[in-house]
Amino acid sequence: MLLSLQDVRKTFGGLAAVDGASLSVGSGEVHGLIGPNGAGKTTLLNMISGLIPPTAGTIVLDGERIDGMPSHVVASRGITRTYQNIRLFPALTAADNVLVGAHLRRDAPLWRRMLFLPSAAVEERAAQDASLALLARVGMSGQAGERASNLSYGDQRRVEIARALASEPRVMLLDEPTAGMNPAEVVAIAELIRSVARTGHSVLLVEHNVKLVMDVCDRITVLDFGKVIADGTPTEVARDPAVIAAYLGGEAAA
Amino acid sequence: MSLESLQDIWLTYQSTVAFIGLNGLLALSVYTTLSCGQLSLAQAGFMAIGAYASTILTFHTGLPFAVNLAVATLLPALVAIPLGLPVLRLKGVFLAIATIGFGEVVRLFFVNLDFTNGALGLTAVPQRTSMWMIYAALGAALFVLWRIRGSRTGHALEAIREDEPAARTMGIDAARYKLAMLALGASFAGLAGALEAHYTYMVSPSTYSFSRVVDMLVYAVVGGTGVFYGPVVGATFLTALPEVLREVSSRIGLAPGPVRLFVNGLVLLLVILFLPEGISSLPRRVRGALQARRRARAS
Amino acid sequence: MGQQIVNGLFLGSIYALFALGYTLVFGVLDILNLAHQAVFMICAYAALVLVVHLHMPMFVAFPAAVLLGGILGMGVDRIAFRPLRGRSDSNIAGLISSIALATILEAVVSQIFGPDVERFPLGSVPTRTLHIGDAVVSELQIVIIAIAAAMLLGLTWLLRRTRLGRRIRAVAESPKAARVLGVDVDWIISASFFVSSALGAAAGILFGLAFNNVAPDMGRSVELKGLAVIVLGGMGSMPGAALAGLALGLLEVFTVAFIGSSYRDAVAFGVLFLVLVLRPRGLLGSAALREA
Ligand SMILES: Nc1ncnc2c1ncn2[C@@H]1O[C@H](COP(=O)(O)OP(=O)(O)OP(=O)(O)O)[C@@H](O)[C@H]1O
Ligand SMILES: [Mg+2]
């Protein structure tokens, strides 16, 4: 397994947001993570990406423990992400946002640029072309020069995915990438996720859109009150009585 | 105009010209840390370190001035690193306060140092700074900042300024970049301190007080921190302004000191309220407004 | 020894008053009001003018100048902070605009009064001295400590027991939530500035009396000391600021007595710096305003 979590816990002042969750993601796999609001999905992604340390448990990426590592080191090991509440760099253009995402992939020492070496200019050109290509891949080539804060909600989510892809991650964490999108846009994202997996990246996908999850995921883990209540292929999970109870319970309460 | 009167004008204003260069360099030193979203107010402390280090070398060694300047540039950067390691974990206002504390500690260190004549400082420092050195230093600082902009480093700095946690999840080692910028800013301040000491013939701790950092910050903010040359624009404007004001205030019979203070404060207030990107953004704004009007008329 | 303690408490109670105002605004707005020192200075001048030129007795001039301080504080909020609210960099922008305002006010005062030190006339304050144990205490010192203590108690009562206090605490906790609950947030912020600046004004007048010294730049060193105090006490913590103010006063007096007067200020900033590096929360956490 490429990424595996063992008994991971996170408590906030006595309240367990994630309560002993285990799951694993294989190479090239699209793994769904679903659960009612407040189940602890975002908290789990925050721990994987190193934004917050787990209270207990281990997170292993390709044989190396990454829990407790600072987030930029986790990124350098091959995990990048998008955010449920979009966190682009608002004053930068879409293209520059993606260029920042490529930070780890670029070999551009400053001294070369200071000396006006041609190799510096060549590298910059290539990096810019690559980021434009990524924007094209998410269907955003028309707005490369637009400030991120001026983009629509759905467009911002696409730029975020391009930014995460720019580091060529081994595992990409997507936190509700289709929230606020219309059905046509959702179809495009589903296709994009599949193509990302085909090129060898693993995806851990948090989503409320059940149809999307069923369509694109190879495996699904269901979280409720911080605990894993089901884990399996989409068909297995859909039939699981605990999952049905959790979702119906949630709806009945709502 | 005769040659003599030109010479007179130059003699009258040459120190203003020198101070425009020095203040520009100091404003850039504040801007450098600000460019990744960190407000460091330790700059007067770094300036003091550069000034004292170079002056001590001048008095006690026969080293060439270039070596003294190099020491004054490097030493503050070396001090900035152990300072920054703990302090840069602080955010916003807390960082500002901690660096104020550091600046005052440095100043009070020199006040209590008998070796450099305590609170009185050292006088009769030989004048070794010439005008071209000041502007060469300013040009070098501008060059470095210009080349950083748009580079991989420059993008990383912008990302840290906009959203540090998000930048870190993109693999940017924010702590290292912030430390590097603090050190770079410190070296600009140290160099300016050394050049100033050897221009004004003196070093004394009172030159490096909190109000000196406030001046630097004011230059940077008034000029604008959106572009790397903004702080120099601000320093030029606010250093030249008192020369004009001196004339005016003597005509209307007010003391020049308070008038200068008043106008500085007023300009700063107006800029922060109505022109948050500083006066260097004025041409762009005016052009934008003109274009909008032309478009409105065309349609 | 006893003498040192009395002197330290005396100096410390002025620091505490100054810092309480500082930290109140920080607790409510997360903003450092660097114009606080200008209010401190102006109100010392105001009291001086009322006593010297309008021949008011001190017990009338003091409250009048404190009231003026409060009103000035509301003005500071209106000019330097309210227009910036909602801007993304509002806490650094606010820091700078308050510096601007402080500069303007200091310039006006030095234009009017000149750079020289002014003094209260003889007889405007009590000058008798008492002996407590081996310490000599002036009546003035006792009055100053008493006024500071009374204002501290008054502030605690205000924050804990009154409707205004509860609302100030609600806004400190979360301006958004308070607005939803129907609190007029802008008004509460104005009121906080009033209270904060009134405390700063009182500190300024007492400082002017204590050292019989009123000058346009008298606020500057106290401003930096005030920063040390609120950091030491924990930003936004009222009891912390009071305690840390007294502690700094004592520390300075003992430093002068046992190390030397030129190290007096170094101690304050050394402490400030160490606290921020070792324990940024200060002595009493940062959420203490809510429990005040
Ligand atoms: N920083 C925090 N401090 C305190 N509690 C937190 C924090 N972050 C999350 N929580 C709590 O942890 C629980 C899990 O939150 P989390 O955001 O992980 O849920 P989620 O599954 O992502 O929900 P949603 O579907 O609404 O995004 C919630 O009860 C939340 O209030
Ligand atoms: Mg979530």
The whole-number average pLDDT for the span C171-189 is 87
A227-241, B55-69, B237-251, C147-161 — which is least confidently predicted? B237-251
Reported as half-sphere exposure (CB side, CA atoms, 13 A), residue B226 has a value of: 13
pLDDT value of residue C285 = 56
pLDDT value of residue A250 = 53
pLDDT value of residue C227 = 87
Cβ partners under 8 Å of residue A65, min gap 6: A58, A59
pTM comes to 0.91
Cβ partners under 8 Å of residue C176, min gap 6: none
Domain boundaries, chain C: 9-219
Question: For residue B15, how many other CB atoms are within 10 A of its CB?
Answer: 13
CATH 1.10.10 for the B13-298 domain, yes or no: no
pLDDT value of residue A253 = 40
Burial class from Cβ neighbours inside 10 Å (0-12, 13-18, 19+) for residue A232 reads: middle
Q: How far is the CA of A231 from the centre of ligand 1 (A)?
A: 21
pLDDT value of residue B156 = 97
Closest atom of ligand 1 to A45 CA is 18
How far apart are alpha carbons A64 and A85 in whole angstroms?
29
Question: For residue B273, how many other CB atoms are within 10 A of its CB?
Answer: 15
pLDDT value of residue B42 = 94
Instruction: Tell me the per-residue pLDDT of B91-102, one tens digit each, with 9 for 90 and over.
Output: 778 888 889 889
Q: How far is the CA of A42 from the centre of ligand 2 (A)?
A: 4
Give the three-state DSSP class for C173.
helix
Instruction: Tell me the per-residue pLDDT of B190-210, one tens digit each, with 9 for 90 and over.
Output: 999 999 999 999 999 999 998
The verdict on the CB of residue A17 being under 6 Å from ligand 1 is yes
Interface of B with C in 226-285 (CB under 8 A): 254-255, 257-262, 264-266, 268-269, 272-273, 276
Q: How far is the CA of C48 from the centre of ligand 1 (A)?
A: 57
Tell me how far the alpha carbon of residue A41 is from its chain's centroid: 12
How far apart are alpha carbons C136 and C144 in whole angstroms?
15
Which of the 8 DSSP states describes residue A178? T
Instruction: Tell me the per-residue pLDDT of A141-190, one tens digit each, with 9 for 90 and over.
Output: 999 999 999 999 899 999 999 999 999 999 999 999 999 888 999 999 99
CB B94 within 8 A of CB C235: yes
pLDDT value of residue A72 = 97
pLDDT value of residue C289 = 37
By most ligand atoms within 8 Å of CB, the mutation choice from A34, A43, A221, A247 for ligand 1 is A43
Cβ partners under 8 Å of residue B143, min gap 6: A114
Torsion of CA C9, C14, C16, C20, to 10 degrees: 160
The residue with tokens 């000019």 is: C79
CA geometry: angle at A78 spanning A192 and A196, to 5°?
A: 15
Q: Which residues of B touch A99 (CB under 8 A)?
A: 155
The backbone torsions φ and ψ at residue A69, rounded to the nearest 5 degrees and listed phi first, read -75, 150
Domain boundaries, chain B: 13-298
Which of the 8 DSSP states describes residue A207? -
The residue with tokens 């030159």 is: B207
For residue C131, the cross-strand partners are: C136
Top residue of B143, B169, B172 to mutate, by most chain A CBs within 10 Å, is: B169
Question: For residue B287, how many other CB atoms are within 10 A of its CB?
Answer: 10
pLDDT band for position A254 (cuts 50, 70, 90): very low
pLDDT value of residue B258 = 84
Q: Which helix (H) or strand (E) holds A25?
A: strand A15-25
* pLDDT mean across residues, chain A: 92
pLDDT value of residue B1 = 60
How far apart are alpha carbons B32 and B20 in whole angstroms?
18
Can you read off the two tokens belonging to residue B43? 């700059």
Q: Given a cut of 70, is residue A128 above it in pLDDT?
A: yes
Distance from CA of B101 to the nearest CA of C (A): 5
The residue nearest atom 31 of ligand 1, judged by CA position, is A38
pLDDT value of residue C128 = 76
Q: Given a cut of 90, is residue C71 above it in pLDDT?
A: yes
Can you read off the two tokens belonging to residue B266? 């007023």
pLDDT value of residue B250 = 78
Q: Which of B143, B162, B168 has the CB atom closest to A90's CB atom? A: B162
Q: Given a cut of 90, is residue A103 above it in pLDDT?
A: yes
A121-125, A136-140, B24-28, B280-284 — which is least confidently predicted? B280-284
pLDDT value of residue B276 = 87
**Is the minimum CB–CB distance between C79 and chain B shorter than 8 Å?**
yes
DSSP string, B181-233: HHHHHHHHHHHHHHHHHHHHT-B-GGGGSHHHHHHHHHHHHHH-SSSTTHHHH
The residues of chain B scoring below 70 in pLDDT are 1
Q: How far is the CA of A38 from the centre of ligand 2 (A)?
A: 7
By most ligand atoms within 8 Å of CB, the mutation choice from A41, A85, A207, A223 for ligand 1 is A41
Domains recognised in chain A with CATH numbers: 1-78+169-254 (3.40.50.300), 89-166 (no CATH)
CB contact under 8 A, A83 and B168: no
Q: Which of B111, B119, B272 has the CB atom closest to C96's CB atom? A: B272
Q: Which of B101, B118, B211 has the CB atom closest to C273's CB atom? A: B101
Q: Give the torsion sign (CA, C22, C27, C32, C33).
A: negative
pLDDT value of residue C281 = 66
H helices of C127-237, in order, are: 139-161, 163-173, 175-180, 185-211, 218-233
CA-wise closest residue to B222 among C182, C22, A61, C103: C103
The whole-number average pLDDT for the span C81-105 is 87
Instruction: Tell me the per-residue pLDDT of C188-232, one tens digit each, with 9 for 90 and over.
Output: 999 999 999 999 999 999 999 888 889 988 998 899 889 888 888
Instruction: Tell me the per-residue pLDDT of C270-290, one tens digit each, with 9 for 90 and over.
Output: 888 788 777 766 665 544 333
A8-12, A143-147, A161-165, C169-173 — which is least confidently predicted? C169-173
The verdict on the CB of residue A42 being under 6 Å from ligand 1 is yes
Closest atom of ligand 1 to A40 CA is 18
Give me the interface pTM, i.e. the ipTM.
0.92
